[in-house]
Amino acid sequence: MDKRTIVVTGAQGQLGHDMVELLQALGFEVFGLGRQELDITDLERCAAVLTAINPEAIVHTAAYTQVDAAETDSEEAFRVNAFGTRNLAIVAERLGAKLVYVSTDYVFGGQGTLPYAEDQATQPINVYGSSKLAGETYVQEHCSRFFIARTSWVYGMHGNNFVKTMLKLAQERPVLSVVSDQIGCPTYSRDLAACIAEMLDTEKYGIYHVSNAGSCSWYEFAQAIFESAGVSVQVVPVTTEQFPRPAKRPAYSVFTHRALARNGFEPMRHWRLALDVFMLEMAAVKERS
């Protein structure tokens, strides 16, 4: 084929959608595959579909992402996030394809107060984090040309996310309670996609932390969302204890971006700037529709 070929799993998802769009704009031939086209949990089917395409790279964004549901549905979370990822790693290695596996800040326990480096010990505290970490392990065991891109607090134009939820709730309620004792790094899905696309153009394999720069609490994030959107709503800070969920969340899962810097990749812009850009783009989409 004249054009380089890339497969994107989870193509209907938030990141997958942006990934397909960006790679096509960059001139790649992109096969955006959803669950119907590619059942990653079936090794033989995976091998058949991917061998027919014979891609140069696979960007694996498909995942079981229901953090709370995973606590009681651990078998399915591991089937998708761990064993599905293992299948892709095995097939990628057979084909000599690069593999990008999108992982999560939830591989860390979050008990510290200093940003996590890529080589720090992992210690997931929920089933979702454990299943994604198992996926990381399989990638490293079965594939020699891999990028593991850990990210966090992702939002974008497609699918559900915290930004959209906050804006919707603000239309329904005058007062919103938001957790203030969990600190992390918001990440705009288009910025994440751009960073992954940059990685694909290299042989600089390894584990990367990919999030927008800076950090905040969910409460501060919510405040910034309403400020950027020009929405007036009262936001009340609450503790994690006051807002219990089935799955534990890391209290502090801020990233360093040492691997990106060390390998000469573009630094990620600050999360506040990325949020403002997203808000402008959302407003433009609303105007067009």
User: Could you tell me which of 224, 238, 230 has the C-alpha nearest to residue 175?
Assistant: 238
Q: Pick the catalytic residue: 101, 106, 128, 219?
A: 128
Q: Active site includes 208? A: no
User: Could you tell me which of 26, 50, 7, 52 has the C-alpha nearest to residue 201?
Assistant: 26
Q: Is 91 exposed, middle or buried (0-12, 13-18, 19+ CB in 10 A)?
A: buried
Going by the DSSP 8-state scheme, the letter that residue 33 receives in this structure is E
User: Could you tell me which of 24, 53, 25 has the C-alpha nearest to residue 38?
Assistant: 53
**Pairing status of strand 175-179 against strand 234-238:** parallel
User: Could you tell me which of 193, 176, 165, 138 has the C-alpha nearest to residue 10?
Assistant: 193
Q: Cα-flanking dihedrals φ and ψ of residue 218, to 5°?
A: -60, -35
Residues whose CB is less than 8 angstroms from the CB of residue 57 and which lie 6 or more positions away in sequence, other chains included: 6, 7, 97, 98, 99, 100, 200
Q: Which amino acid is at 152?
A: S
Write out the catalytic residue numbers: 128
